[in-house]
Amino acid sequence: MYAKLDSKRVDYLFITNSLSGGGAERAINIAVTEIAKKNVSVGLLVINDGPQDLYAPKVPTFEVKRSWQGGPISLLSAYLKSYYMVIRAHPKVLVLNCDLPEFIGAFLVGPWKIVAVEHVPKPWADRLTLGRIIRKILRFRKTSWVVVSDHLLPWQSIDLKKTHIPNAIFENEDEISEPINSGNKLKRLVFIGRLTKNQKQPQWLLDISEITNLPVVFYGDGLLKNELIDDSKVRNLDVSFNGFVSNPWSEISSGDLLIIPSAWEGDGLVVVEALSKGVPLLLNLVKDLTRFGLPEKHYCDSPEDFGLRISEYKNNLTGLVADSEIASQIISGRNPKVVADKWIDFLTKTAG
């Protein structure tokens, strides 16, 4: 349901990058919809233009429709449009979800309280100087912080109080939640996520493919895509790029192995969703992923190590499906209704 500019005000307005694109966007779509089901006045302001997500938010939604990667003029226009929409909505609390909403929200001056959501341990990784300036402004404006994982600390504000509210995931929703039959024989490697070099490290998949002689399929988009395409052609690898797919789990089939080579993660929603679907997976041996506490067999520390583990389990893929009891423990607390209750309690206290 999309709001017209003359629609009634909302008490709590979440500002997000886009309607789709990643775990942070989907988690907010789920949260605001569940919050609204409890008769709480909540809305969504979306900055970038883009396709609808598999989980469409069912709340009043204001779309700025900025072109992704637009220049300074596009950014200024997005700020002015956002300000106009916020004034019309006149919320008690603004919730800023990720870097771009922080940038714009830092300058949306008004009677509303400000909340920022920390999704990763290294926000503003590509624009550190700008990030420090924005975080100083947010600190000056007495911003409250929500972290989506209890291992996170608000960057540049680690001494401030934080509230942990986990990201919600789909639960018992028809085909979205049906388990996947992993099969026993490994057929291809799968990557799901943004194609960014420093954090997600999708380039590792090409190295692993070269070592194992297995095909790779990428679900996701990003600045590294063209470089990955060129590199895969030079190496003569069997690689396919499917871009953004609203429900990549519907594309996963018997014989697929999910590879998560991230150098760091925030909540690690792809891991959580994979566990909920029973997808076999291997993860990079880094602190942000070992915190899930999976058995040692699920972790590798280099493309070569991934290659060795894959060779070990290539005819026993079910051996890389996480134990259901471990998966249940990790997934617990992410029920959308539970997450919505936590948000409502937090927002009510923040609004005063």
- The amino acid sitting at 45 is L
Q: What is the mean pLDDT of residues 5-13?
A: 75
159-204 tens-digit pLDDT: 778 999 999 887 544 444 455 667 789 999 999 999 998 899 999 9
> Strand, helix or coil at 94?
strand
Rounded-to-integer distance, Cα 237 and Cα 11, Å: 52
Average pLDDT, the chain: 90
Question: What tokens does 300 get?
Answer: 């590798």
Give the pairing of strands 216-219 and 281-284.
Answer: unpaired
Structural domains of the chain, with CATH? 12-168+335-351 (3.40.50.2000), 174-331 (3.40.50.2000)
Quick one: which of 252, 275, 193, 149 has its CA closest to 26? Answer: 193
Quick one: which of 311, 260, 277 has its CA closest to 182? Answer: 277
Query: At residue 47, what are phi and psi to the nearest 5 degrees?
Result: -85, -55
Band of the pLDDT at 7, cuts 50, 70, 90? low
**Does the pLDDT at position 5 exceed 80?**
no
**Does the pLDDT at position 278 exceed 50?**
yes
pLDDT for the residue 6 = 41
Band of the pLDDT at 266, cuts 50, 70, 90? confident
> Strand, helix or coil at 299?
strand
Which strands sit side by side in the sheet containing 239-241, from one edge to the other? 239-241, 216-219, 188-192, 256-260, 281-284, 299-300
Quick one: which of 272, 296, 276 has its CA closest to 285? Answer: 296
211-265 tens-digit pLDDT: 999 999 999 998 899 999 999 999 999 999 999 888 899 899 999 999 999 999 9
Rounded-to-integer distance, Cα 338 and Cα 223, Å: 35
Q: How far is CA 283 from CA 17, 83, 204, 324, in A?
A: 27, 41, 12, 17
Burial class (CB in 10 A: 0-12, 13-18, 19+), 69: exposed
Quickly count helices (H) and strands (E) in the chain: 11, 13
> Strand, helix or coil at 54?
coil
- Where is 228: in which H helix or E strand? helix 225-234
- CA 216 to centroid of chain Cα atoms: 22
Band of the pLDDT at 41, cuts 50, 70, 90? very high
45-55 tens-digit pLDDT: 999 988 777 78
Rounded-to-integer distance, Cα 199 and Cα 103, Å: 21
